[in-house]
Amino acid sequence: MKALKISISAFIGGMLFLLAFIACFPRLALLINGPVLSNDEMNQNTALFVIGAPLTVITGALIGGVYMRHRLNKKHHP
């Protein structure tokens, strides 16, 4: 049961971080790459998304899993 709670928390953390990344992506792409004037900027935006999305999911999953593991261990040790 403990492993299931950690897995669900990691999944939810990954999805929340992905949602936040997708919500912030237009501003982030504009900040890093500037306005899209040619195909080069569009390719940079694609690379930013393809590299950034998995990294944010992994980060969110790790944070969610570690948080839930800490929370579950805290309950067993009063």
Total domain count for the chain? 1
Which structural domain, as residue segments, surrounds residue 62? 2-76
Instruction: Find the DSSP H helices in 1-78.
Output: 2-33, 39-76
pLDDT tens digits, one per residue of 24-70 = 999 999 999 889 899 998 999 999 999 999 999 999 999 999 999 99
pLDDT value at 6 more than 90: yes
| Confidence band for 12, pLDDT divided at 50, 70 and 90 | very high
Q: Which of 53, 54, 75, 77 is nearest to 5 (CA)?
A: 75
pLDDT (0 to 100) of residue 74: 84
pLDDT (0 to 100) of residue 28: 93
